[in-house]
Amino acid sequence: MRIALGPVSRISLGLVSLAAFLILTLDLIFSLLPDQTDVARQIRKRSTEALAIQLTALVQTDNLEVLRKTLHAVIGRDEQIISIGVRRADGQLVAATGKHSEWVPPANNKSTLTQVVVPVSTDKDIWGQIEVAYKPSTPHSLSGWLKYPSVALTLSLMTVGFLVFYLYLKRILQRLDPNAAIPDRVRTAFDALSEGVLVVDDKGRMLLANSAFRGMHPQAAKDLTGKPISELSFLMQALGEEEANHPWRRAMQEKRTVVGETLKIAREEGAELKVTLNCSPVQDDAGKVRGCLITFDDLSMVEHMNQLLLDTVAQLEVAKKQIEAQNQELRTLADHDPLTGALTRRAFLEQSQQHFLHTVSVRGEVCCVMADIDHFKSINDRYGHLVGDQVISQVANLLRTQLNPGDLLCRYGGEEFCILLTDVNAEQAMGFADNVRKLIEAQCGQTVIPGEQVRITSSFGVASLEFGGTTLAELIKQADQALYIAKGAGRNRACRYDDMTATQIKKRFAA
């Protein structure tokens, strides 16, 4: 597994390695550090010689019991000694302590660093020798080597030196101006952005602020390089939460982009500034977070434009309703006769066709009634066209009062009306026509010309799907034929199409 080291760690490691190399080189040349082997050799030589003098005196007195006790005492005091033995010249082991039974004489009986042989002499000749086995002066395990003075010194030097160099360099590099590490073209590019941009490191220290951010508040206009972002009190007040919960902290800890944080920044020189804060963590090639890029989008202008847009939309909505009302009024004027309020012939044919097709599709009843004011020309000639218009209007009002919802009334001609009745049969349509006829005769004359006895009557023709018509045009034609028969029969009456004789139909067709 690859261990990723930061620049400060790599520099510190290089410096401490160089320092250790220099120290070891100087020690090799000038012997600055003591030789542990040589020191051990000198100590063991002196201690063994002192022991030999003491044991020689005991050997000469032939006091073996005291000799053994002395050996045990010596080995108990010096932990470097493994075993001690006193051997005669004939090879007999007189006294021993420790594991001296494992003693293997050194080559040529010459003393070594771990096996020391000291001859014991009397006044006459060589009595024997004292044998001392020492522990090895160099360790044989990793833990032993780690405790070895020269190794421990070197490791301690490198460890402490690395920590000292690391803390020193980290402190120094923090104080260096990071502007030198940011090319001018990058700074110029950030300054060209309309939104505020702030770059912080993983400790929250500010490294770069563009011109848009510096213009957000007087505090931001100062030199912010290397300072903690927490020193920007206007930003901290706007956030109003603990530093650990700040958006850039969450972005760096969770390694994700945080967007849409809306802030209101108070400013002394004017109204508060509303911004949207977005944070994006900056990671190195190994995925470690090195800092955070923070942007501030000014919403003040956007809100102003949104308000203008809402006002415009509201005005357009009012204009739309006015246009719809005018269009509805125009449709009403186009579809309705201005004198009577009844449908025009064009509108009637369009709407009645829809009613007819729907009723036929559900097997319902449809009837058509044609009405005509009797001797209308004589009314115009005698009373004038103004009274004639009043008569037409009054007849239309009477017709309208007798209609059911869904029925259609049309001013088909000058004084002629066409009515489409749905959900009624021929008998009911005939009753409708005769009832309206009576109302016209009884009411219209007195209403139109008060105080004068004017007799206004009308004639009606009734047609129904029951009479064999299959289309709306046929139904209207049959009602018109029945109206013609009613006029020919003396007027002021209602006739059904199925009451017409073949001769009458033939005569009507001929006409």
Residues 53-63 have a mean pLDDT of 73
Name the band, by pLDDT with cuts 50, 70 and 90, for residue 230.
confident
Q: Residue 34 pLDDT more than 70?
A: no
- CATH number of the domain that 467 lies in? 3.30.70.270
Residues 79 and 147 in one domain: no
Name the band, by pLDDT with cuts 50, 70 and 90, for residue 274.
confident
Residues 168 and 183 in one domain: no
**379 in a domain, yes or no?**
yes
Residues 76 and 44 in one domain: yes
Say if residue 349 is exposed, middle or buried (CB neighbours under 10 Å; 0-12, 13-18, 19+).
Answer: middle
- 242, 276, 298: which is the final residue of a domain? 298
Q: Residue 42 pLDDT more than 80?
A: no
Cβ contact 485:504 at 8 Å: yes
> What gap in Å lies between CA 12 and CA 218, rounded to an integer?
40
- Res 509: pLDDT: 46
Q: Residue 506 pLDDT more than 60?
A: no
Which H or E element spans position 485?
helix 472-488
- Res 270: pLDDT: 64
- Res 28: pLDDT: 74
Residues 75 and 91 in one domain: yes
Residues 406 and 503 in one domain: yes
Measured between alpha carbons, how far is residue 63 from residues 53, 55, 57, 339 in Å?
15, 10, 9, 160
**486 in a domain, yes or no?**
yes
Residues 15 and 110 in one domain: no
Q: How many helices (H) and strands (E) does the chain have?
A: 16, 14
- 114, 134, 154: which is the final residue of a domain? 134
Tens-digit pLDDT profile for residues 400-432: 999 999 899 999 988 999 999 999 999 999 999
Percentage of the residues of the chain whose pLDDT score is greater than 90: 25
Measured between alpha carbons, how far is residue 260 from residues 248, 276, 295 in Å?
12, 6, 11
**20 in a domain, yes or no?**
yes
- Res 180: pLDDT: 47
Q: Residue 470 pLDDT more than 70?
A: yes
Tens-digit pLDDT profile for residues 364-388: 899 999 999 999 999 888 888 888 9
Question: Which of 126-140, 204-218, 220-234, 462-476 comes out lowest in average pLDDT?
Answer: 126-140
Q: Residue 495 pLDDT more than 60?
A: yes
Residues 72 and 160 in one domain: no
Tens-digit pLDDT profile for residues 148-198: 667 777 778 788 888 888 888 777 766 555 554 455 667 778 888 888 899
Cβ contact 401:409 at 8 Å: no
**314 in a domain, yes or no?**
no
- CATH number of the domain that 128 lies in? 3.30.450
Say if residue 377 is exposed, middle or buried (CB neighbours under 10 Å; 0-12, 13-18, 19+).
Answer: exposed
Residues 343 and 431 in one domain: yes
> What gap in Å lies between CA 359 and CA 296, rounded to an integer?
66
SS3 content of the chain, % helix, strand, coil (to 5): 55, 20, 25
- Res 286: pLDDT: 84
Cut 0.95: pTM above it: no
Measured between alpha carbons, how far is residue 209 from residues 4, 193, 203, 256, 310 in Å?
29, 11, 16, 22, 35
Q: Residue 36 pLDDT more than 80?
A: no
**260 in a domain, yes or no?**
yes
Residues 463 and 505 in one domain: yes
First to last CA, the chain: 111
Cβ contact 178:225 at 8 Å: yes
DSSP 119: E
- Res 121: pLDDT: 78
Cβ contact 441:493 at 8 Å: no
**193 in a domain, yes or no?**
yes
Give the domain extent around 464.
Answer: 336-510
Report residue 171 as tokens: 């402190």
> What gap in Å lies between CA 136 and CA 173, rounded to an integer?
48
Question: Which of 44-58, 77-91, 365-379, 468-482 comes out lowest in average pLDDT?
Answer: 44-58
- Res 505: pLDDT: 53
- Res 451: pLDDT: 66
Long-range contacts from 39-45, C-beta under 8 angstroms, 24+ separation:
40/80, 40/113, 40/137, 41/113, 41/137, 44/80, 44/113, 44/116, 44/132, 44/134, 45/116
Say if residue 65 is exposed, middle or buried (CB neighbours under 10 Å; 0-12, 13-18, 19+).
Answer: exposed
Measured between alpha carbons, how far is residue 121 from residues 37, 74, 345 in Å?
29, 21, 158
Residues 98-118 have a mean pLDDT of 82
Residues 350 and 458 in one domain: yes
**313 in a domain, yes or no?**
no
> What gap in Å lies between CA 114 and CA 133, rounded to an integer?
6
- CATH number of the domain that 232 lies in? 3.30.450.20
- Res 164: pLDDT: 86
DSSP string computed for 257-312: -EEEEEEEEEETTEEEEEEEEEEEEEE-TTS-EEEEEEEEEE-HHHHHHHHHHHHH
- Structural domains in the chain (count): 4
**323 in a domain, yes or no?**
no
- Mean of the per-residue pLDDT values of the chain: 83
Residues 380 and 253 in one domain: no
Count how many residues are written for the chain: 511
Pairwise pLDDT comparison (207 vs 141), residue with the higher score: 207
Q: Residue 485 pLDDT more than 90?
A: yes
- Res 184: pLDDT: 67
DSSP string computed for 203-230: TSBEEEE-HHHHTT-GGGGS--TT-BGG
Q: Find where tokens 């019991």 sit.
A: 65
Residues 53 and 67 in one domain: yes
Cβ contact 292:281 at 8 Å: yes
